[in-house]
Amino acid sequence: MKIIFSRIVSTLLLLLASSLAVFAAIRFSGGDVTAARMPASASAADRELFRKQIGLDQPILKQYITYMGNFVTGDLGNSLTSNARISSLAVEKIRNSLILGGSSLLIVFLVGVPLGMIAALRRNTWVDTGITSFSVAGMAVPNFWLALIAIHLFASTLHWLPSGGQGGFKSVILPALVLSAEGIALTVRITRSAMLENIGQDFVRTLRASGFSERRIYFKHVLRSSLLPIISLAGLRVGQVVGYALVVETIFGWPGVGQILVNAVLRRDYPVIQFFSLLLVVVVTLGNLLASIGYTLANPRLRK
Amino acid sequence: MSQTPLLELRDLSVGLKGDRVEYDIVRNINLSIYQNEILAIVGESGCGKSLTALSILGLHASPPLRITSGSITYDGRDLTKVSPEELRKVRGAEIAMIFQDPMSALDPMFTVGTLLTSAIRAHKKVTDSAAEKIAHECLADAGIEDPRRRFGEFPFQLSGGVSQRVMIALALVNNPKILIADEPTTALDVTVQAQILERLKDLKNERGMSIMLITHNLGVVASVADRMAVMYTGEIVEIGSVQNVFSVPQHPYTTGLLGAVPRLGSNSVALVPIIGRVPLPDNLPKGCTFADRCGRVVPECGVNRPELVSRGAAEVRCFNPFR
C-alpha cells in the first residue's frame, strides 16, 4: 500500500516536471504556429496581432501558469491550427492508438514467447538457428525501413493489404506487425535464454526425479520461472511501442496519437503537443507500473 | 545375502561423448541393493559416485554423458533400455532420489503443498483431499514439526534442514521401494545432519525401504550404513559390510581413506594423507589406476587391470590386498 502510494506521488511529480520540460522545449525550438496559420504574404504586424490573440506574447512562465490553471480545471484548450477542442480530438486518437499499440503488444507476446520456447526446446538445431537469426534481423532492421518494404510488398505489389489509413481489421495488420518486429525479436531472445537458464536449474532435476512429465516440467515449471524477465520486458515494451508509434503511425497514416503529435510538432501547435506528449508520459509510466505490479504478483518472494 | 536384489547394476559404464573426446567416467560398476538395507557409496569428489547414482534414473546430463555399457535391472526390466515414459513411471514411484543442495533443488515458484500433491498426481489419480492427506503424512514422516504450515509455504521460506526434509517428503509421497540419497547432508550444519541421517535410518526401519547413500563422509557411513562400496576413479575398489570394511580394510586405497580421517581422542597428531594425485578419467594409467599412489605395488599392477574378486567377507579390486 505504502509502495503504491509513493509510486502515485512520484508519478505526479514526474508529470509536473515533464509538463514543464515539454512546455519550455517547444517554445525554445524556434518558429511558431503563425507560419502554419497565415499566408506567407502576411505582414509582420498581422503576425504580431495573431500572437497576441493566442497569448504567445506573454512571458513563458506566465503562459505556463495560465495553461496549467486551465488544465487542472479540465480545460485542455483548442488546437491552434484547426480550432477543434483537444478533448474531443483526444478520444478518437487515443482509441486508434490503443487499437494499434494493443494489437502490437498482443502480437509481441503471442508470437515471441512461443517462438522463444521452441528455440529453447530445440536448441542447437536448425529450428533454433532459424528463429535466432530472424530475431537478430528483427532487432537490426529499423522500423521505418521495414514499414516501407512491407508497404511495397503487401500493398503495392501483392495488393493484399491497404498501404495505410484506417479502415477496419485489414488496415491494422501491416502497421501492427511493423510495430511488433523488434518486440518479437527481443521477446524471443529473452524467453529463449530464460528457458535455457531455468532448464539447467537443480529444481528441474528434482522434478524429473519425482516422475513429472517433460511436458509438464517445460510448460508449467520452467515457463513459470521464465515469466519474470518476460514481464519486466513487457514494461519496457510499452515505452518502446509509444516511441515507435510516432514513426509507424506517420508512415501508415494511422490517425492516432503518434500521427497527430508529429503533425502538431511540425506546425508548432503548442496545446496539442503539450497534451499528447504528457499523455505518452502517462502511458509509459502506467505501463511500467503495471509491469512491476505484475512482477510482484508473479514472484512469490516479493508477494509474501 | 542370499535373497534376490531389488536393484542390480551390472557392468555399468557411463561415459562422455563429445565431438572429439570419448571416454568412460564410471567403469564396470557391479552393485546390488537388497531390501531393507542402507548401502553407502563412498569416495572423494569426482570418483563417479554421484554419476553412478544419477544414471540409475537416467538423470545424468545426456548429452554429453551416456551409458556406454551394462545394465540396470529393476523389477525384471533393464532401465537402460526402457522407453522414456516407462522410466518416468519408475522415477519417484519405485525409485526416488534426493540431492545435495536442498535449497536450490525445490522449484521456487510453487508452494511445498503444490509440489508434493503434483508429484503424487504424476503417478496416480487422486482427489485433492486425498493428495493433501498423503502430503501431510509424508511431511510428518520426514520429521517436519508443523506439516500444515509448511504445506502452504514457498521454498524460500524454509531453512536448509527443513528444505531437505521437504525433499525427503517429496521422495516419499509415492511410497518408493528405493531411495537414492546423493550427499543429502553435505550442505547442512552438523546437528541438522545428524537429525536427517536419523530420519533416513528410521524410514528404512519403518517402511522397509532400501537406501543408497552417496557420501564422502566416512563418519556418516559408520553411523547409518549396513554395507559400503568404496569408489576410486570411476570404479568400485572394495565392497562389503560396513563393519568388515572398517575393521579389516583390504584395498590400500580404503586403508588410505580411513587413515586420512581425523579421530577425536586419538594420540597421533598428524593425519596420513594419500600421496600423489587422482588421475583424470581421460588419462588413466594402464593397469591399476591406484598403482602410482600405492605403497603395496607389485609388478603386475602396472600391467593388468585388477578385477573385483571375492576375498573373505568382501570384494576387492587389488593384486596385493592387505591380509
Do B92 and A224 count as a contact with CB atoms less than 8 A apart? no
| Whether residue A61 is found in the same domain as residue A12 | yes
Do A221 and B156 count as a contact with CB atoms less than 8 A apart? no
End-to-end CA distance of chain B: 23
Q: Which domains does chain B have, with CATH numbers?
A: 7-263+270-316 (3.40.50.300)
Do A211 and B174 count as a contact with CB atoms less than 8 A apart? yes
| Whether residue A225 is found in the same domain as residue A125 | yes
**Any idea what the CATH number is for the domain that residue A169 is in?**
1.10.3720.10
The answer as to whether A58 is a domain residue is: yes
Residue B63 touches chain A, beta carbons under 8 Å: no
Query: What is the Cα–Cα distance from B162 to A153, expressed in whole angstroms?
Result: 62
| Whether residue A31 is found in the same domain as residue A161 | no
Residues of B in contact with A304 (CB under 8 A): 154, 157
Shortest Cα–Cα distance, B300 to chain A (Å): 43
Residues of B in contact with A208 (CB under 8 A): 57, 59, 91
Owning domain of residue A53 = 2-72
The answer as to whether A79 is a domain residue is: no
SS3 assignment for B240-306? EEHHHHHHCCCCHHHHHHHHCCCCCCCCCCCCCCCCCCCCCCCCCCCCCCCHHHCCCCCHHHHCCCC
Interface test with A, best of B51, B109, B157, B167 (most A CBs within 10 A): B109
pTM here? 0.82
Contact B164, B188 (CB under 8 A): yes
Contact B236, B229 (CB under 8 A): yes
Query: What is the Cα–Cα distance from B196 to A67, expressed in whole angstroms?
Result: 72
Residues of B in contact with A211 (CB under 8 A): 88-93, 119, 122-123, 174
Query: What is the Cα–Cα distance from B190 to A138, expressed in whole angstroms?
Result: 54
Do B154 and A225 count as a contact with CB atoms less than 8 A apart? no
Do A224 and B119 count as a contact with CB atoms less than 8 A apart? no
| Whether residue A147 is found in the same domain as residue A25 | no
- Tell me whether residue B115 is exposed, middle or buried, using C-beta atoms within 10 angstroms of its C-beta: 0 to 12, 13 to 18, 19 or more: buried
| Whether residue A68 is found in the same domain as residue A178 | no
The answer as to whether A23 is a domain residue is: yes
| Whether residue A28 is found in the same domain as residue A110 | no
What ipTM does this complex have?
0.90
Per-residue pLDDT of chain B (323 residues; tens, 9 = 90+): 457 899 999 999 999 887 888 888 999 999 999 999 999 999 888 888 999 999 999 998 877 899 999 999 998 899 999 999 999 999 999 999 999 888 899 999 999 999 999 999 999 999 999 999 999 999 998 888 899 999 999 999 998 889 999 999 999 999 999 999 998 888 788 888 888 898 889 989 988 899 999 998 888 898 899 999 999 999 999 999 999 999 889 999 998 888 877 777 666 667 777 888 888 888 888 888 888 888 888 888 888 889 888 888 889 998 988 87
